[in-house]
Amino acid sequence: MTPEIYRELMQAGVDCVTLGDHIYRRREIMPLLGAERNIVKPANYPSDAPGLNHCVVDSKSGVAIAVISLMGRVFMKPVDCPWAAVDRVLKLIPSTVKVICVDFHAEATSDKQLMGRYLDGRVTSVLGTHTHVPTADEQVFPGGTAFQCDLGMTGPYESILGRRIDRVLLAARTFVPSAFDVATEDVRLSASIVDADQLTGRASSIRRICLKEDDVLDIKCTTT
């Protein structure tokens, strides 16, 4: 993420941005993390790390929505306990804010399943990110929390996790260092739509979507 990319997302209508293990890769993002109120770091990062551990934004219909980001620990860089961190953050959210969305940026599906079950009935959704590949396990848990192990990526699917196939294959086969250039073909938008009761914060449904670039352009044409 860079300030330029952030501003582009805001102009496109994005309400809030969560970030993962590459949050500080570009140093120019640091001032923005302290200045903007709708972009969050993983809440189980150190307290001194730049950025907010949660935020509250208003939806287009005026509903207040709290957003929390967490980092998993299995096969990831060492971080604080995500379960303890989310408990701390939930205490900071005003009781009037019923809709709470959690982005769990983690490698292992077991980690994500555990977090979803741990927060069932306490948050509106626990949606996983990081692996770039959408999972087909979207569901609403008994307590009313919508869950999916991974939303997938928005980016080029003719790729290896968004990078050019030939570059990644060369490095994997030969160990010769190669620049992992971003791929450009078969761009898709992966996401999930969660329906929730704004008075209780409980989810009633979750629907997985994956739209190709032409599909998005068709939707844009029919709605303008």
Question: What are the CA-CA distances from residue 151 to residues 36, 118, 206 (Å)?
Answer: 25, 19, 11
Q: Say which residue the tokens 């190709």 belong to.
A: 212
Q: Tell me if residue 22 is catalytic.
A: yes
143 CB-near residues (< 8 Å, 6+ apart): 120, 121, 122, 202
Task: Tell me the DSSP string of the chain.
Answer: --HHHHHHHHHTT---EE--TTTTSSGGGHHHHHH-SSEE-BTTS-TTSSSBS-EEEE-TTS-EEEEEEEE--TTS-----HHHHHHHHHHHS-TT--EEEEEEE-S-HHHHHHHHHHHBTTBSEEEEESSSS--S--EE-TTS-EEES----SEESSSBTTB-HHHHHHHHHH------PBP-SSEEEEEEEEEE-TTT--EEEEEEEEEEHHHHHHHHHHH-
The catalytic residue among 22, 54, 105, 132 is 22
Q: Can you name the residues that pair with 70 across neighbouring β-strands?
A: 104
The catalytic residues are: 22
